[in-house]
A and B are shown apart, each in its own frame.
Chain A
Amino acid sequence: MSLNFKVGLIGLLDMLKFANLAKDREKIIAAAPAEEIKADYPVNNFAKAMHPDFQQFVIDGIIDHKAAGAKTFVLKRADGKPASYFRAGQYISLKLPIGDSFVTRPYSISSSPKWALDGKVCVTVRANPGGFAADWMLDNFKAGDEVKGSEGLGSFYYQKYRDADHVIALAGGSGITPFLSMAYAIRDGIEDFKLTILFGSRTEESILFRKELDDIAAQTDKVKVVHVLSDESKDGFENGFITADLIKKYAGDEPYSVFICGPEAMYRFVDKEVEKLGLDKKFVRQEFLGATKTVWEKPGYPQDKKDKVFKLTVKQGPDEYVCDCSANEPILVAIERAGIKAPSKCRSGDCGWCRSRVTSGEVFIPEETDGRRWADKQCGEIHPCTSFALSDITIIVPGEYY
């Protein structure tokens, strides 16, 4: 085939030029200096500072909220560097060596992102019945103790191109913490939106962060706090529960987004109220629930499996472990009990950090906490944090870096 064209002046030289491409490359390489190769890239350094394998903190202070049965732990970076910057509303995953186990717990950050620049983040831990890790922290943590944590995680933050200009926050108990961080961020000029917090507490005395919230509301007219007391009727407070009517009362006529964070009992009530508002999905955002504590009550659960104990074989890298696995608890809990350092962050089926491959056995995954990718559902990949064993199981878990 002749296409009758030449690129250079003399066609024959074109051919030579092609044939010499490799030789010319070798010449250029040979002529270069043999310098030591460095691999230090600013963009990667930035990414590492934002998303380290873990942050090593020291407990810098403890604030006891006695009446609320909670404590705030002020965590300071042990290396003196700024803490990984985060978006107000995000959580960190604490890495806790309890007894022979490595467990993680997600806690919303309750401090301003501004504090992170000084190396500090705060988490607020409330006692809860049967709350194994929470009780351990409340009983054991003292100033000067070391604790490891992740960077800020999750999508529970204000995003101006997604959310309405006005956010109605529905908070219950220690569910106030992400909203406190948002309120600080608004006050500190980091975020810019209107935040109305409907904060449900049992009694006036048990209100968490009352002074902090009042102070912020006094400093910026963008933040408003409405206390809703369930167990008391008092002047100057809303009484009862957070209802659709109450939300409408404070929402006004402008479009609004509803953000929800609180205990499971609150979700059960509030979700129905929010539904009555007829909002588009995009205007309702809910912080994670955690795994169900009563999986046998979920639709489709095979009742004969309840209370059973199965054999769990865990493969991680070259290692293999065998342990018991209760049908009533997420598989992740069994892995942690066995003293295996397995990855997990949100513990609600969403973030996928614990993603593992089941090579034999059957699992039950409640639909509302099944945050898996489409292909993973087809391939036997599960999120052990919200998956429950229905038989003996063999699972390959990833490594963990902390």
Chain B
Amino acid sequence: MAAKYDVVVVGAGNAGLSAAVKCVVEGKKTLLIDQHNLPGGCASSFRRGRFEFDPSVHEICDFGPDDNKGHVRLLMERNGVNVDWITVPECYRCISTYSDGTPMDVTMPCGREEYIAAMEKYVPGSRESMEKFFDLLLEIRAAKVYMNDGTPNDAKYMQKHFPNTLRSCGYDALKVMKALKIPQKAIDIIGVYWPYLGVPLDTINFFHFGNMIDMYVIRQAVIPHHTSHEISMTFMNRFYELGGEAWFNCRAEEFLFDGDRLCGVRTSLGDVECEQVLANINPDIIDARMIPKELVPERDKKLSAARGKKFSTKFCMIYMALNRSVEEMGFKDYCVFFAETADSRKEYEYMKSIDNDYNILISYNNLIPDFSPEGTCVISFTKLFSESDDWAKLTPEEYYKVKDKMIAKCIDDVKKNLGIDVTPYIEEVEVATPMTFARYLGTPDGTPYGFEVNEWDGIIARMMNIEADFTIKGLRHIGAGSFMADGYSSTWINGDLTAALACREMKEGGNK
């Protein structure tokens, strides 16, 4: 006889973990399965020699200090997930070229006043527009809370309380920042974070972009002390503590139906009956492979066609352990962006090539002195690719050569931009390509980001009508392919919210 659960959560990435914990907090009998042998998806770790590496984390936004707790912090506290967090004091240093062609080298602090003051220093005369910008972000934050509370949105209420949000958030970020009369150079500096959303400023919805800036700049960002695996295991411990069960190295092969009602999951470890499934799987993959053809909803087909398989950013990560301390090496910043240009549209175009020069350096020991053994340090590089099929064209023999080429680029980047030569000190080096992400995450072309959040399919448009995308009774998508798109914070919140919807439906006797 098949095992029986209230909820099966498929995919123990960030959204799956927060969803699973939410379900057991709500008292549901919950099974969490993952095709890999450990939880976390991107939020994980791996070991090489005497080092442990974080595969993906840069900064976790929306955490917040004691007196201004962000959604991520509230979510963790509410669900009893207590991680040893380290606060990130600076947003970033960015070495690039302004849109007007002049060289950029800026270091931006966290905190509204500090950020505005630094901006005034780099771009004199920007203060007034920056004040307006942050005022607007404050209102957007309140609007988001209102819109996310799970009840229908009242237009009149919103017009009264969030007029500026309504006025700005139908537009892309570039248009709104120009309307606020922010000088172009300041827009370039604010825009440094754009790749975290996968689309340039002329495409990303202002609500989405502004909210991200609010979460990074105003709300403190944090990182885990002992890699993202620590976070994922803290979720897991809480999940087990509340009676949850987890099967790893277990693949969800197909969803089982009773008529058009979802009633279970066929897994590589056996069939499971359940009332609700929370699927941390790209919706296209579910429809193409996991449900009977005749049950694929018309709307899913149309949505998929409208999206046209336009998946968001692909990553290549280069991880290095150096046998010198961070002081000996001379790394001064935790996070440095190296971009060819601050013009996000141009950079997006460059990123179509495997040979683009965009790179983000993370130097963990600057924030966490004991991140690696004494006298050593760990750094990582993040290279991004948009709409690129260069990776898919490689042959196996070329593959390792391209990995080496990526390492060489990183070595050159720190030499050229920071005057630091890491070559003699590399004790361990590893490269994760889009293929590596595809291997461990199973996402389309290895993107951790889901579908592109373009002009018509941004998170705000998705969030205004959340249930419309859940076309199959008893099945809800979570994770980067769902309504809040990519990012640690977004996927945790998305998993938690969606699990709450599923639990509420069960309470109301839904899906019976």
Contacts and interface: CB of A to CB of B under 8 A. Distances in A.
B107 interface: no
A37 B167 contact: no
21 contacts: A2-B163, A5-B179, A11-B167, A18-B167, A25-B456, A26-B465, A26-B468, A32-B303, A38-B288, A41-B445, A44-B445, A47-B436, A47-B438, A50-B439, A317-B247, A318-B3, A318-B269, A352-B37, A373-B229, A396-B246, A398-B248
Interface in A302-360: 316-319, 343, 350, 352-353, 355, 357
B428 interface: yes
Interface in A10-69: 11, 14-22, 24-26, 28-39, 41-44, 46-51
Contacts of A33: 301-302, 305
B434 A43 contact: yes
B400 interface: yes
B248 A376 contact: no
Contacts of A239: none
Query: Among the interface residues A18, A280, A371, which one has the most CB atoms of the partner chain B within 10 A?
Result: A18
A51 to B, nearest CB: 5
Nearest to B300: A37
A317 B435 contact: no
Nearest to A190: B397
A340 to B, nearest CB: 12
A281 B321 CA distance: 12
A7 B205 CA distance: 13
Interface in B114-144: 132, 135-136, 139
A48 B445 CA distance: 12
Nearest to B305: A32
B267 to A, nearest CB: 7
B482 to A, nearest CB: 15
B48 interface: yes
A395 B132 CA distance: 57
A43 to B, nearest CB: 4
Contacts of B425: 282
Interface in B432-463: 434-436, 438-439, 442, 444-446, 456-458, 460-462
A265 interface: no
Contacts of B232: 375
Nearest to A380: B237
B460 A21 contact: yes
Contact of B269 (A16, A28, A50, A316): A316
Contacts of A7: 167-168, 170-171, 175-176, 179
Contacts of A353: 37
Interface in A366-381: 371-376, 378-379, 381
B248 A399 contact: yes
Which 9 residue pairs across A and B have the least CB separation, nearest first? Answer: A317-B269, A17-B170, A42-B392, A85-B396, A398-B249, A39-B288, A22-B464, A282-B427, A32-B306
Interface residues on chain A, size class: 35 or more
A47 B460 CA distance: 33
Contact of B139 (A1, A11, A31, A319): A1
Interface stretch (A95-103, A124-132, A155-163): A155-163
B457 A37 contact: no
A87 interface: yes
A34 B305 contact: yes
A163 B444 CA distance: 34
Contacts of A160: 404
A6 interface: yes
Interface string B282-314: 101101110001001011111111100000001
Contact of A401 (B246, B251, B391, B444): B251
